[in-house]
Amino acid sequence: MPTSLRDYWWAILIVPVAVVVTAILVTGLFTGSDPSPGSAVAAAVTSSAPAPGSEAPTSSARTAVEDAVACAGNTGTRLVTVSISEQRMWMCQGTRTVSASPVTTGIDNAADRTPTGTWKVVARETDRFLVGPDYRVHVDYFLPFFDDYGFHDSPWQKFPYGSQDYRTGGSRGCIHVPGPEMAALYRWAAVGTTVTVRA
């Protein structure tokens, strides 16, 4: 074996193993089903922080930073907060952001607008139909918090969650949450969890 290869044989074995282990760990941070406090959000903030003297953070980096601090003012144990203008939801465990997700709120008209205010989750329901004057839709998860308003999955939605298309094509007032995030919210939120919806 040439001297250079003989001296560095260990690198030929260890570097590929280290790359595989790193890939597994990083992928696990973002695909794990347990939304433990600070997991994916903290990783996203850490990985997207700009080096001194570099360009301003990208939109996704700014979003990660905003998500990380979204729960900073929470004084309760658990809080789900929704911003209609941002079409975004945050799950807060104390002052830590457990998870964040784009959502779709009600159509922007007097009849279908998602109400703003603070309530509590009043039930945890699965595998049910939501029925209105001109619709009947099946959802896997439903977390009502005020009257007939609640969080639920919406597999029929055709435009991206978080889009401003909610103004004309949104819900009838409920908060549509992407399927995997809705499953995580259902597992995490209990009856009595505080819900705040702001304009």
CATH of residue 127: 2.40.440.10
Domain that holds residue 116: 71-198
- Is position 170 within any domain? yes
**pLDDT tens digits, one per residue of 108-144:** 999 999 999 999 999 999 999 999 888 899 999 999 9
Kindly state the average pLDDT of the residues 155-181. Answer: 97
- Is position 164 within any domain? yes
Q: How many helices (H) and strands (E) does the chain have?
A: 6, 9
Query: How high is the pLDDT of residue 52?
Result: 42
- Is position 63 within any domain? no
Kindly state the average pLDDT of the residues 68-74. Answer: 91
- Is position 182 within any domain? yes
pLDDT at 56 over 70: no
Domain count, the chain: 1
Q: Lowest-pLDDT range, 56-60, 90-94, 113-117?
A: 56-60
Query: How high is the pLDDT of residue 3?
Result: 54
pLDDT at 152 over 70: yes
Instruction: State the Cα–Cα distance between residues 94 and 73, nearest whole angstrom.
Output: 9
Instruction: State the Cα–Cα distance between residues 138 and 129, nearest whole angstrom.
Output: 4
Tokens for 21?
């282990």
- Is position 113 within any domain? yes
Amino acid (one-letter) located at 121 = V
Give buried/exposed letters for 128-160 (b at 16+ CB in 10 A, else e). Answer: eebeeeeeeeebebbbbbbeebbbbbbeebeee
Largest CA distance in the chain: 80
